Structures are given as structure tokens and as C-alpha cells.
Chains A and B, each alone.
Chain A
């Protein structure tokens, strides 16, 4: 670093560089101050903890700390790969994520397209507000409601019986678990998700619609040929971001909804980490699993971005 500085200085470029920084600072001072809290947030909560990931390679005890704990190499990773639940955890996490992308990702886009076609302002606002609302309900409350409604005497079963079905405790059935998880997720997040697409839709040039109309395109054709291409960059960006989070399903909803009878389909990596790490205090092992998870996400994000760059010219970087 020092050498580099010297070199720059002898080139006389340092002076110029400093001047550049100074003028930039003078010009954009308020913007820098504005972004500062966010930068600090990321440093504190997203970068600093990376240092702690070291304990994945240790047999960590808080008293000995990172410097004092014994190094065990890849033992924690080996233990996870040979864990009898490894396959099941991977499968459950992946399937839940994939279903979330297949069903959960298009949902807000479709809703946004539908909302876009509504011309009655009042009706549109009311609909939008109603679909936003579930987003603000705490996860614990949502899961409490789901659990109650899913009882054999609950609301969902009342509906099933109304349509001629049979009463059945829904949250004790492993085959229904994913559906309940994904559908409730869509219900909760779909309205919130539309915001970004609605703003993208509003920026589609209205002249294009006029042109399409003149060419005799009906509503469906307009959607297909004007609207969707218009918001495609937004969709692709959101999709890449979603892929980057593919394997990072949070544990909160899972631990509130599952019970031993649904472990088969419900237990995912993060809920397992929660049980082992927080409840059993096996810090190193759970960190190793978490790190493994992050590496997968990292790779997925890069791959998705590469593919997108290659085929659609839209990419994150």
C-alpha cells in the first residue's frame, strides 16, 4: 500500500487525485452524508459479521473466543454433509424456494398488470390498500391465524366441508405443508410486491400503446408486446435478486408452522440451524451450515447474473 502511494506521488497523480476527491466532496457533500447511515449499517451488520464466520472452522466456545478456540479444519462441514438429514434439508429448502419462484415470483407481476388495467381510481386504491395490508401483519400473528384456521375444526376446513370435502388437520399433513407455506406467503407479500412493478408500468411510454392500438392489437396483445417488454428490465433485476436469495429462507415462519409430523417436508436448513445453533449452542456447526448456505447463494447470484447478461442485456453489474 505504501509503495503504491509513493509511486502515485512520484507520478504526481496523487495531487490530482486529491483535488478530484475534494471537488467531488464539495459538490456532492449532502449526498455522501445521506448515504452514510446505510454504509455504516452494511459495515456493521453485513461485513463485520463475516469475520465471525471463522468459527465455522473451529470448535468455538465463547469464553475462549475466536483467538483461543481450537481449529478443527473442515470437520464441521464434513459433519453436515454426513448428517442423516442433510439430503432432506437440502431438498426441502430447494423445493420450497423453487415453488416460491414459480408461484410467488409471477404473482405480484400479474396483480400489477391487472391493477394497471383498472381505470376507476377509487376502486384501484382500495384494492391496492387491501392487498398491501397483510404485509404489515407480524409473522407470529399470521402463523397463529394459519395454525388456527388449519385445525380440523378451523376455517379452512369449514370451507372444505362446504365444498363437499372432508375435515382433515391440514398442518399435520406433510403433503400440504408446502402449499400452505407458499400460498400464505403470496397472500402476505403480493400487494407489497406490486409497488415496484406499478412504478415500472407507469413509465412505459403511452405512445407505444396508441401505436399498438392503431395496428389493431387487442388488450392481450398490448400486454404481451408493449407492457411486458417495457417492464422486462425490472422483472429481470428482481429475478436475479430473488435467485441470490434462493437458499436463504428464514427460519421464523418455519418454526412457527411446523411440528414433528411435518418435518419431512417442512424442516429446512435455517430451521435446523436454529435448533442446533441457538437451542443446542453448537455455534461452530451452525455457522458452518450457514456459511455453506451463503456460498451457494453467492454462486447462484453470479451465475444468474452471467446468464442474464448473456441473453437479455440486463444485469446487476
Chain B
């Protein structure tokens, strides 16, 4: 009771103070946003005007108040130079622009899942938590709400988040993806704002070797075989093809699985039903092919234990000639590192391989605009929900959008002909930082977070010609993958435990057997037995749950 009175007083104070501030602060913000608003068109500024009115003349920055605790995953490009996200110019500017003091809590790299569990078990939650609530919270977002971890945001968005509300109203596809089956909003989502941002992972190989050996960039599985064989025999590569096998992101994106018209895990089939790829006939063919390649030494013998640093070493020193990765953090880094010692070193992106020459691959790695990752939710421990909501909503305003993607005008970008162009601070950093690290100091656009990613970032992020070609080579023209990718569906709370029990067993078995088939520890003739074992673990029930969830998703 006492708390409610206190909060009431605080709200009243807020109202008084904001109206007072609007007089002087409003003009300033309007001036700084004009540049951004111009490129976005006049209609949006008109719309946001009416929104602001509805929100009782609210304007940024908010007046000082209690700091908010913000739990967020550590990113390599940030941690390379800053101990905490809060030390970056980005975070300082964010606090200044919104007027909210933020205390960033960051789990050690690679331990976010563990740390998340510990925080949940402890019950003393930070105000805001960025997480993949769809795939990493057991049972999904609806369960997280029912477990009392996060709060449903429907009323909050209505009252305090005009910018996000407007974005969702304009983008019904995303609106459908970011709520639960029951219609609850639960997060401030990370959204890839353009198709060119959806193809970030793909195959790449040594262009200089190809030229020397007079070979074309491979387009089919057979051509890949020829190329890898030549790399091994002519160029002495002992591990012609290698990639970060220990990273689930890469396993899920594996183009050679897709080449056999299937997927490592769940996918939407051409019958508009959910299927499990690892039991398909195509998966068997994939395993047979990989086993043959492994036997002939075309795949890294140590593939099962490969991590980023080892892969990077191999691809840059000529032990490997082909790999899988992002255009920015992998291709760019490898090119820059290897060219220092070998100026001829060159990489080229290869399209999603298909089985027939000239045929467009049916499957391929494509991300969805909203996958669930890095999305900020407000927890039940948050005492000032409005403040947290306003802080997060800012990212979806025109001003916030520019800030998250390009940083501060005059420092990290300048406007030229209505287009934001990164300054030399970013592209030719005076301290010699790579573009990815220089960007991470000022923006979040080059990795992730609760905002809409802008396509204009990526064309500048890719500074090398080899990188610039990747969106096209790996993109929609290369495969029909977008038709098969799983949308962010969730089982119901009741089914979630059953589903995760089944799928954990299946995944463990699949991971183990996949390697055994590839290494030849299990003969491919045992594939039928492998399939029937998976069926016995309850695959049918898992698919039933997935299909029901998919049906609910479609009718959201």
C-alpha cells in the first residue's frame, strides 16, 4: 500500500517535471532529429507527433532516477576493448540520450546460459534481461511469464511505448512473431530490418588457390569434392574443409546438410508441416558423402573439437582452404590477418551448393527477421516499469534507430546526401582497431540487441569487395531456404517439459551418431536402426507438439 502511494507521487512528479522540461528540451531534440526524420519521410514525424501527445507530452531525456540493472550477453567485439558494455561511448551516450542510468551486468563469455539459470534460481532478477526467450528459456516466453520471471508487455507497450507500437502496427509479420500464442508481448525484439541482413553465414574458400588451379567457384556437391581434392593434392592442405563444429550456430547453418534437401533439426516442409531433418533420406546421403570426404582427408580430421581460434589459424595458414562463417567477423578478419604475411591470399564466397548443376538449392541457411535472440524483457523484479519501458522503446524511435545503428552524428557518422556514412573513427580507426571493434564501441548495429537493424550499416561494415558480394552470393538467389526456415514457434507451457525431455534425448543421440557415421565408427547401413531409435525416443510426439505450435503460430 505504502509502495503504491509512493509510486503515485513519483508518477505525479514525473508528469509535472516532463511538462516543465518539454518547453526547453523539446526544441533541442527536434533539431537533432530533423536530419534523421528527413530521410524517413514526413509522414512518420507527423505520426510520432500524435503519439507523443497521447503519451502526455513525454520527451527524452527522462529526469534522473534510480539506476536500472541491465543483464546482457558479452560480445567479443566489445570485450576486446572494454571490460563492460557500460564503459563504451555507446552506453554513455545511451544513458545521456534517455536520461536513464544503467548498470550493465554481463555474464562471462559462453556462460550466459548457466549464469541465466543461476539468476533465475536465485530469484533476485535485474530489471531488464536480454536473452533468447524463444529458444533458450525452457518452455518459451509464455512459460517465462507464467514462472513469474518476466512481465507481459501488452499494457506497457500501449501506455509507454509509442515507437515500438507503431513499428509493430506497420509490420504485421513481425508483430505476429514477437508475441506468444496467447497474444502476449514479452520483449523488445532484435529485428533484422532488411533481407540483406538475413544471410550472414555462408561458405568461403581460397580464391587465389582456385585461380592457380584453374578451377571455378564450386556450385554443386560434386564440384566441391573436386575442389577440396585439388586443395589437398595440389596445395598440400591437410584439412581442406574445416569449420567451428562446436558452435551450434554453424551446425544449424551447415550448407552441406542443406545441399541434400534437408536440415539438421526442424524445418517446414513443402507440405507446410514441421519435419525433423536428421531422419530424412537426404540426411543419410549427407552422412555418406561426409564419411567419404572424411576418409579421403577432405574434412578436418579434428572437426569435432574445432573452435574459432583453431579454425582461424588453419584457414589463414593454408592448412585449410575452405570454411564456413560470417562475412564480417570471420571472412574480414581472416583476410586482414592472412594478407599481412601473404599478399596473394584471397577468399571468395561460395553459394549454397546444390546437387544438380544450374539448379537452385531448395534448402539453405536464412535467418528469420525475428529469431528471438538478444531480445530485452522486463522482469518481475523491476520496480519502475515505465522507466525501463521508455528506455527500451527509445531504440525504435527515429532518433534511437539512428543511434543504435550509426551512433552519434559528427562522431561515428555524418549525413551525406541524406545517407548516414561512418566516419574514419569507425572505418579507419586511428588506434588501428578493426572495423567490427570500432563499431562496437559506438553502436550495437553490427551485432545485436533490442532494436531494428538497418541495412545501411552492412554495406559499410563490409569494407572489402569479397565481403560486399556475400549478401548476393549467399542470399535469396542462392537457395529457396526462406520457405523452410522455422518461425519462432513455442510449445504450450504444459507441453514444453515433455517436448524438451524428448528433444534433449534425440539431439544428444543425433549429435553422437552423426559424428560416428562421419568417422566411420558406425556403418551407414545402421542408419535405419538410428532412425528407429529416434522414433522410439518419441519423435512422433515431438513433431505433433511442433506442428500444433506451428498451427497456432499461423493463426496468431
Interface residues in chain A, defined as those with a beta carbon under 8 Å from any beta carbon in chain B: 61-63, 79, 83-85, 147, 150-153, 167-169, 171-172, 174, 259-261, 263-264, 275-283
B95 at interface, CB cutoff 8 A: no
Residues of chain B lying within 8 A (CB to CB) of residue A83:
505
The 3 A-B pairs of least Cβ separation, nearest first, read A63-B148, A260-B511, A261-B515
Measured in the bound complex, the distance between the Cα atoms of B122 and A282 in whole Å is: 14
Measured in the bound complex, the distance between the Cα atoms of B525 and A240 in whole Å is: 48
Are A85 and B505 in contact (CB-based, < 8 A)? yes
Residues of chain B lying within 8 A (CB to CB) of residue A281:
117, 120-121, 137-138
In the complex, per-residue mask of B505-546: 1 if CB is within 8 Å of any chain A CB, else 0 = 100100110111001010000000000000001000000000
B459 at interface, CB cutoff 8 A: no
- Across the interface, B114 reaches (CB within 8 A) one of A85, A150, A171, A278, namely A278
Are A63 and B149 in contact (CB-based, < 8 A)? yes
- Residues of chain B from 124 to 139 with CB closer than 8 A to chain A in the complex: 137-138
Measured in the bound complex, the distance between the Cα atoms of B120 and A152 in whole Å is: 41
Number of B residues near A (Cβ < 8 Å) is 36
Are B512 and A151 in contact (CB-based, < 8 A)? no
- Across the interface, A283 reaches (CB within 8 A) one of B121, B137, B310, B537, namely B121
- Residues of chain B from 105 to 161 with CB closer than 8 A to chain A in the complex: 113-114, 117-118, 120-123, 137-138, 147-149
| A-binding segment of B297-305, B332-340, B366-374, B482-490 | B297-305
Measured in the bound complex, the distance between the Cα atoms of B521 and A107 in whole Å is: 33
Chain B's closest residue to A148 (CB) is B310
In the complex, per-residue mask of B259-284: 1 if CB is within 8 Å of any chain A CB, else 0 = 00000000000000000000000000
Known contacts A62-B120, A62-B121, A280-B504; is A263 also within 8 Å of B512 by CB? yes
Residues of chain A lying within 8 A (CB to CB) of residue B148:
61, 63
Residues of chain A lying within 8 A (CB to CB) of residue B505:
83-85
Are B304 and A63 in contact (CB-based, < 8 A)? no
With both chains docked as a complex, state the minimum distance between the C-beta of B458 and any C-beta of chain A, in angstroms: 32
Residues of chain B lying within 8 A (CB to CB) of residue A275:
504
Chain B's closest residue to A83 (CB) is B505
With both chains docked as a complex, state the minimum distance between the C-beta of A279 and any C-beta of chain B, in angstroms: 5
Chain A's closest residue to B246 (CB) is A259
With both chains docked as a complex, state the minimum distance between the C-beta of A52 and any C-beta of chain B, in angstroms: 10
Chain A's closest residue to B508 (CB) is A263
Known contacts A151-B305, A172-B302; is A63 also within 8 Å of B512 by CB? no
Given A172-B519, A281-B120, 15 more contacts at CB 8 Å?
A62-B122, A62-B147, A63-B123, A63-B148, A63-B149, A79-B501, A151-B305, A153-B238, A167-B301, A168-B301, A172-B305, A260-B511, A279-B113, A279-B114, A279-B117
Please classify the interface of chain B as helix (H, G, I), strand (E, B), loop, or mixed, using the class held by over half of its residues.
Answer: helix
Identify which of B138, B148, B504 gathers the most chain A CB atoms within 10 Å of its CB.
B504
Interface residues in chain B, defined as those with a beta carbon under 8 Å from any beta carbon in chain A: 113-114, 117-118, 120-123, 137-138, 147-149, 238, 246, 301-302, 304-305, 310, 319, 380, 497, 500-501, 504-505, 508, 511-512, 514-516, 519, 521, 537
Are A63 and B147 in contact (CB-based, < 8 A)? yes
With both chains docked as a complex, state the minimum distance between the C-beta of A287 and any C-beta of chain B, in angstroms: 11
Residues of chain A lying within 8 A (CB to CB) of residue B117:
277-279, 281
With both chains docked as a complex, state the minimum distance between the C-beta of B133 and any C-beta of chain A, in angstroms: 13
Are A260 and B512 in contact (CB-based, < 8 A)? yes
Are A261 and B302 in contact (CB-based, < 8 A)? no
Chain A's closest residue to B507 (CB) is A260
Residues of chain A lying within 8 A (CB to CB) of residue B515:
172, 259-261
30 contacts between A and B (CB under 8 A): A62-B120, A62-B121, A62-B147, A63-B123, A63-B149, A63-B380, A83-B505, A84-B537, A85-B508, A147-B305, A150-B305, A151-B302, A171-B304, A171-B305, A172-B302, A172-B304, A259-B304, A259-B305, A260-B304, A260-B511, A260-B514, A261-B304, A261-B516, A263-B512, A275-B504, A280-B500, A281-B120, A281-B121, A282-B497, A282-B500
Residues of chain A lying within 8 A (CB to CB) of residue B380:
63
Residues of chain A lying within 8 A (CB to CB) of residue B123:
62-63
Identify which of B148, B305, B319, B504 gathers the most chain A CB atoms within 10 Å of its CB.
B305
With both chains docked as a complex, state the minimum distance between the C-beta of B506 and any C-beta of chain A, in angstroms: 10
Measured in the bound complex, the distance between the Cα atoms of B245 and A151 in whole Å is: 14
Residues of chain A lying within 8 A (CB to CB) of residue B302:
151-153, 169, 172
With both chains docked as a complex, state the minimum distance between the C-beta of A262 and any C-beta of chain B, in angstroms: 8
Residues of chain A lying within 8 A (CB to CB) of residue B500:
280, 282
With both chains docked as a complex, state the minimum distance between the C-beta of B523 and any C-beta of chain A, in angstroms: 16
Are B305 and A169 in contact (CB-based, < 8 A)? yes
Chain A's closest residue to B314 (CB) is A153
